[in-house]
Structure 1
Amino acid sequence: MAFSSNLNWIPLWSALLTVFVTRVNGIDIYLDWNVSITDGLIPLLVDQQVVIINGVFPGPLINATTDDVVHVNVFNYMDEPLLFTWNGIQQRRNSWQDGVSGTNCPIKPLKNWTYVFQMKDQIGTFIYFPSINFLKASGGYGPIRVNNRDNVPVPFPQPEAEFDLLIGDWYSGDYKHFRKMLETEESAYDVTPDAILMNGMGPYIDSDSLWYETFTVDKGKTYRFRISNIGGTLSFNFRIQSHTMLLVEAEGSYTNQITLNSLDVHVGQSYSVLVTADQNDADFYIIASPKLLYATGVAGVGVLHYSNSTTLAGGAHPSGPDAFDLGFSMNQAKSIRWNLTTGAARPNPQGSFNVSNIALSQTFILQSSRAEVNGQPRLVVNNVSYFTPDTSLKLADHLTNGTGVYELDEFPVQSVNVDTSYGTSVVSGNYRGWIELVFQNNMDDMDSWHLDGYSFFVVGFGNGHWTPDVRNTYNTIDPVARSTTQVYPHGWTAVYAFLDNPGMWNLRSQTLKNWYLGLQLYIRVYDPDPNPAKERPPPENLLFCGLFESQSLAPARHRHLNH
């Protein structure tokens, strides 16, 4: 008998303290998270270390509405420092809560810290995960929903139910061992994941399978699946046997509604699709097959179970596009367009803010490659591999203008005419200016890039090398706004972003090993106006680290955990 997706969340409600307090523009949501590593979970029927939150994997759902304020008190019961990042949550004027090494000092073992952030002017489907120490490879991740306010209609009929579906590749080994291998052995970069999990569960194989994800539906009704690629390496193609999907949302943007037989989802991306249970009562395969990989047994497999079904899923898996057909993938990506007529976080149409006649103030051309730096296998962007200092960049920026921690604008934003090197790369972004980011992938593997603090407009994809002439091919009419975009092997992707959110923002590869091995930098968007309406001051519970470690916190703000 399969484990139901609903059962996976049962321990959450007894373990969480959730309090709601009325606000003018939303509510306060209070969550307590106990984060630890367990040896008792068996995602692949192999006992291994898994990062759990309040005893569950994946972690608890954060279910909020536009303008709600979320307070997450994180208790670190691991032997590693810990940070969480809220992938796609824009942290308006508040990069202090972004949860990456450049903006937050880590939560030390047996300590706790409370994040406070607002779902300001957002709706949509997002994810959270640990951002440091390669911990994401062993879990600690979960879903985020940001729902429309009551006065902003959703541009499709209310579905019967909504399902969160976190899909991602998984390694059966110890994440500490793999982390060490990446640092010393170049061959470790090419290690293939052992499986693709669905909500932390292994693949359905046959009627004897005991540990797989299943969703129960009633014939004739429509359901919303919120699909996220929570993995670290593989893009996948998602499909449901004998069913079509209606694409309706991508990372906080309502899209033009297109009917799909399958959907490519790249690392770090999230989508919403509507699925109508319009087949005869039976069980059907749910498939997530890897891109750019021919490997039996790696695909994620779940089950769509009709409530009156007595017929188990069986036979061959439904076929999808060729795993190496990047033309299909790129054409599908270009077909995903912004719905210009619907509201989202606000009643005004999404199309009231467009990129058809903008004036660019900056262009960054970012070339990604594998390289050797000081005898170590690394990843470089414009020949620089990011070096993580012990001191948070945002903290150093606030206290010393970065002195002793980083040098502003030493990173070459349009050139690779430097020797490979380490660098703590921080570049200036022009406040309230439009920036063009060109991601040039010089590697054989698919990559994904993400910008914290913003949604950007994905205006173009292409093969080969980007040149200024290809701007003539950009879609500036209705490009989708999102925070993560794929970059095809030996190809380029171009995005536009309006830098109206002051702060220190991480720009990174979402591919976990790439991120860990140096494919990242920070964009410092600075507004000299001290008005906190522009950028919020440091939080009262600010943590200190590195050069400022001695500036201790009051015991009430950073207390030792008791066992």
Structure 2
Amino acid sequence: MVWSIRFLVLLLACVLPALVESRVRHYKFNVVLRNKTKLCSSKPIVTVNGKFPGPTLYAREDDNVLVKVTNHVKYNVSIHWHGIRQLRTGWSDGPAYITQCPIPPGQSYVYNFTITGQRGTLLWHAHINWLRATVHGALVILPKRGVPYPFPAPHKEVNVVLGEWWKSDTETVINQALKSGIAPNVSDAHTINGHPGVVPNCSSEGGFTLPVESGKTYLLRIINAALNEELFFKIAGHNLTIVEVDATYVKPFKTDTIVIAPGQTTNALVTANQNSGKYMMAASPFMDSPIAVDNLTATATLHYTGTLASTPTTLTSPPPQNATQVANSFINSLKALNSNKFPAKVPLKIDHNLLFTVGLGINPCPSCKAGNGSRVVASVNNVTFVMPTTALLQAHFFNKSGVFTTDFPGNPPMAFNYSGGPPANSSLATTNGTRLYRLAYNSTVQLVLQDTGTIAPENHPIHLHGYNFFSVGRGVGNYNPKTDPKKFNLVDPVERNTANVPSGGWTAIRFIADNPGVWFMHCHLEVHTTWGLKMAFLVDNGKGPNQSLLPPPKDLPKC
């Protein structure tokens, strides 16, 4: 009896820490400057814990995560946990002046959130100015203990973080552009896990190497953390089996090339089933509009164990920059897994039927000499969003007037040939405002995002904070409300947090407004966000505390 009690005590001593660890995860993010050398030149960059990309945050479904972020740099800082639902915890969502005032230099803030009903690959990144160029990292949510993946278990899991690199300071790049009124300089290189790979005129530049064993299968958690560019990704001689996007499972399918927009994630299985050797991994830009991009391909190496370092690398040619068909083939292949365990709960009855145009415009700017007295702006339904000086969520919670209005238009101010040129007899100017669209708790929304060709048609990866949504339809040209809904996929549409709006086309999404708070929606091309292609939904509380926004934490930063 005594022995059995001792055994039980010993067993509990071993098990309880693991159980506690699976419920609460503590992280410390110190935002610091570090000198980094890329492209044979060095510069100081803002980092988390001195790393580029930053540290991976690991958690399990249902874990409570606490991240203490301490700001040791001269800039204000905030961190967004991209794709985390933040159910009733909007205070931890992170976009500066939307859900929180930023963390001032020398101060700290603890982001406190629970991961409910989510598992898969997401990312975290700075959400103020252009700091996310270097302040970003992977966010990996493992399934609950004992719950398998709905696909064969891989031999190993590897994060593949795609990014951009500027030789210049990125804050200087965007500030000079805003002063001039014209577009900022494009990046000087793309990166794979922080490395551009082989680049011209810089023999010292190394690349990321992924060691693999012949016959083994690997899960690649691919993340586009780039500021402004959608990217193709492929591996010479190897197919990728796609099993997840934006931390939602999809029906597996094989492809040799993926397209991934900033803010999006893709989980792909790759099997080392070729002859032993070295194989190029490539990340290259996708842009099917006449807009300047960084055309340098980032490279890395898939290296079979036992292969000599001197062995030539098997190369691959990236798709043409304007390979729309390659991009569409990938996007159109994405379908929700829609299994008994992971059903696609698509809203069928719609309360709010919205049409938002997204695109560019030109507003007067007398001081913008390079822009000839004008500046490029961006808008949603012709409203260029004006950032407030106090956080919208605080203004909402404390009923502070004068910060925002709730009259954001549910449709464009005028109908025209959206995907064509500018409307006839009309200026290219937009209106300015801090306008929100109000939703009742649990109301259902269908939102059609329509690209405009007012300046030039362009792809827009649109990210909605606080929610996943179903991408039920997509097309080229102008959305037709009479005929296009008949072609919607309401059975197994892919579930995402960042939508692909095609150049000169539209995307339809649906979601249920079951998360009270103020939720940012914006283009994840950072230049477009800076120019004003953003808005926010205000979702009211429901009935009772479980459907209501929690009060703000005591250490919430002040403006």
Of 425, 444, 458, the residue aligned with 2:471 is 458
Which residue does the alignment assign to 1:65? 60
Q: Secondary structure at the match of 2:36?
A: coil
Structure 2 CA distance for partners of 1:45 and 1:413, relative to 1, 3 Å: farther
What is the root-mean-square deviation in Å for CA atoms of aligned residues? 2.2
Q: Secondary structure at the match of 2:174?
A: helix
Structure 2 CA distance for partners of 1:292 and 1:542, relative to 1, 3 Å: closer
Are residue 204 (structure 1) and residue 198 (structure 2) matched? yes
1:354 aligned partner, one-letter code: K
Are residue 520 (structure 1) and residue 534 (structure 2) matched? yes
2:341 aligned partner, one-letter code: P
Q: 1:505, 1:296 → 2: CA distance? A: 31
Of 333, 337, 350, the residue aligned with 2:342 is 350
State the shift of 1:297 in Å.
6.0
Are residue 492 (structure 1) and residue 486 (structure 2) matched? no
1:514 aligned partner, one-letter code: H
State the shift of 1:280 in Å.
1.8
Structure 1 residues without counterparts, runs of 5 or longer: 1-19, 342-347, 546-563
CA deviations over 1:373-416 (Å, ceiling 9, x no partner): 3423211111111111111001111112x4121111x2212023
Q: 1:176, 1:362 → 2: CA distance? A: 38
Of 444, 448, 451, the residue aligned with 1:434 is 444
1:380 aligned partner, one-letter code: S
Of 286, 299, 302, the residue aligned with 1:301 is 299
Q: 1:331, 1:282 → 2: CA distance? A: 29
Of 469, 473, 482, the residue aligned with 2:496 is 482
State the shift of 1:526 in Å.
0.5
State the shift of 1:328 in Å.
2.9
CA contact (8 A) 2:38 2:205 kept: no
Q: 2:511, 2:52 → 1: CA distance? A: 34
Q: Which has the larger radius of gyration?
A: 2
State the shift of 1:262 in Å.
0.9
Q: 2:351, 2:547 → 1: CA distance? A: 24
Are residue 110 (structure 1) and residue 102 (structure 2) matched? no
State the shift of 1:186 in Å.
3.8
1:203 aligned partner, one-letter code: G
Matched residue count:
513
Of 22, 25, 28, the residue aligned with 2:24 is 28
Q: 1:377, 1:254 → 2: CA distance? A: 38
CA deviations over 1:194-235 (Å, ceiling 9, x no partner): 111111112235995542111111111111100011111111
Are residue 384 (structure 1) and residue 374 (structure 2) matched? no
CA deviations over 1:24-51 (Å, ceiling 9, x no partner): 894111111110222x201333212322
CA contact (8 A) 1:362 1:430 kept: no
CA contact (8 A) 1:91 1:453 kept: yes
Structure 2 CA distance for partners of 1:187 and 1:313, relative to 1, 3 Å: farther
Q: Secondary structure at the match of 2:537?
A: strand
TM-score, length-normalised on structure 2? 0.87
CA contact (8 A) 2:518 2:537 kept: yes
Which residue does the alignment assign to 2:249? 254
Q: Secondary structure at the match of 1:49?
A: strand
CA deviations over 1:59-95 (Å, ceiling 9, x no partner): 1100100011111111101111110001101101111
Q: 1:25, 1:46 → 2: CA distance? A: 42
CA contact (8 A) 2:470 2:494 kept: yes
Structure 2 residues without counterparts, runs of 5 or longer: 1-15, 366-374, 415-425
Structure 2 CA distance for partners of 1:75 and 1:330, relative to 1, 3 Å: same
Which residue does the alignment assign to 1:406? 404
CA contact (8 A) 1:285 1:313 kept: no
Q: 1:265, 1:196 → 2: CA distance? A: 14
Which residue does the alignment assign to 2:155? 160
Q: 2:401, 2:391 → 1: CA distance? A: 12
Of 405, 413, 418, the residue aligned with 1:416 is 413
Taking only the aligned residue pairs, the percentage that are identical comes to 28
Q: 1:49, 1:254 → 2: CA distance? A: 39
Of 345, 358, 364, the residue aligned with 1:368 is 358
TM-score, length-normalised on structure 1? 0.87
CA contact (8 A) 2:450 2:507 kept: yes
Structure 2 CA distance for partners of 1:295 and 1:384, relative to 1, 3 Å: closer
CA contact (8 A) 1:165 1:198 kept: yes
1:378 aligned partner, one-letter code: V
Which residue does the alignment assign to 1:553? none
State the shift of 1:439 in Å.
1.2
Q: 1:36, 1:46 → 2: CA distance? A: 20
1:121 aligned partner, one-letter code: G
Structure 2 CA distance for partners of 1:186 and 1:464, relative to 1, 3 Å: farther
Are residue 192 (structure 1) and residue 182 (structure 2) matched? no
Structure 2 CA distance for partners of 1:182 and 1:425, relative to 1, 3 Å: farther
| Residues 191-200 or 475-484, more deviating | 191-200
Which residue does the alignment assign to 1:503? 517
State the shift of 1:354 in Å.
2.6
Q: Give the alignment of 1:462-473 within 5 angstroms.
A: 462-468=475-481, 469-473=483-487
1:515 aligned partner, one-letter code: T
State the shift of 1:179 in Å.
1.6
Q: 2:532, 2:17 → 1: CA distance? A: 42
CA contact (8 A) 2:188 2:294 kept: no
CA contact (8 A) 1:239 1:320 kept: yes
CA contact (8 A) 1:229 1:266 kept: yes
CA contact (8 A) 1:373 1:422 kept: no
State the shift of 1:322 in Å.
3.1
State the shift of 1:177 in Å.
1.6
CA deviations over 1:403-451 (Å, ceiling 9, x no partner): 121111x221202349622111211123212101111111433210011
Are residue 51 (structure 1) and residue 46 (structure 2) matched? yes
CA contact (8 A) 1:58 1:141 kept: yes
Of 436, 447, 458, the residue aligned with 2:460 is 447
Of 208, 215, 218, the residue aligned with 2:213 is 218
| Residues 223-232 or 29-38, more deviating | 29-38
Q: 2:313, 2:306 → 1: CA distance? A: 20
2:321 aligned partner, one-letter code: A
2:25 aligned partner, one-letter code: I
Q: 1:441, 1:241 → 2: CA distance? A: 34
State the shift of 1:539 in Å.
1.7
Q: Secondary structure at the match of 1:150?
A: coil
Which residue does the alignment assign to 1:7? none
